[in-house]
Amino acid sequence: MNNLFKRVALVARQGKPEIVSPLLELAEFLRANEVTVLIEDESVPAELMGDYQPVPRDTIGRLADLVVVLGGDGTMLSIARSIAPYRIPLVGINQGRLGFMTDIPLQGMTQSIGAILLGDFVPEERILLESVVMRGDQELFKALSLNDVVFSRGALGSMIEFEVFIDDQFVYSQRSDGLIVTTPTGSTAYSLSSGGPILHPTLPAIGLVPICPQSLNNRPIAVNDSVLVEFLLTRGSEARVHFDNQSHFNLQELDRVHIRRYRNSLRLLHPLGYNYYDMLRHKLHWGEKLL
């Protein structure tokens, strides 16, 4: 078999024993097709790993040509952040529910993966955001996000106050529960539930979506993905910034967060016939009867 990808890493959602069996089934299929199989070391219990090569997640980017994720969009977000510096394509297999990024069903997964190995797929580039937390001139924290960067109020429940700048130009000051800075990928996540627009994945844009603003004049806006977005916290004793809801940093007043597009994009591979609007229609139940 003339495979386009010679070394494939498999990653499964952790804490889900039911996913181990299909993962090992896929591993056997890949091996039978002369593919070197790497399995993320926390995806399968050691006693079930057999003679497959276990690899830590932070080494996958250096070792694999392709990463296949069995799980949900949360698992995709996690592995995407790990492999982003290496420009390795990513494929998502869902666990029975249609995901926004995991679009290959478990049933028939070997057929879909076999086609992808031969080069039959629909590629799609997704942008990521790189964020840097600054306190004065000191860089305190750095993170990548595929979905969004979310600023939120603390546990005391008080609104936070902040200012937003784009390319060093003042945009607005705001008092609200927070702010979502979203990629097109993240526009169908928290941003959507907060009233933000759906941005097509190929759109070169970043969205800024207020969370329950005090003023009704504050509206979501979309800007070009080449800009530098700066968030300045002016008031908020327990404010936090979250990155894909998988890591966070506690902010102090006058902390600044710089957000810009990451130098690499993430390459997703979809099966032939993939249609973004079909996915939206199924996921969001568009076109269904109201009664």
Could you give the residue numbers annotated as active site? 73
Q: Where are the alpha helices (DSSP H) in 93-237?
A: 109-117, 190-193
Please tell me the distance from the alpha carbon of residue 267 to that of residue 123, in angstroms, as a whole number. Answer: 7
Please, are residues 105 and 93 in contact by the beta-carbon 8 Å criterion?
yes
Residues 6+ apart with CB under 8 A from 266: 80, 83, 84, 90, 125, 126, 127, 128, 146
Please tell me the distance from the alpha carbon of residue 71 to that of residue 68, in angstroms, as a whole number. Answer: 10
Tokens 């967060």 found at:
257
HSE-CB of 72 using CA atoms within 13 angstroms: 6
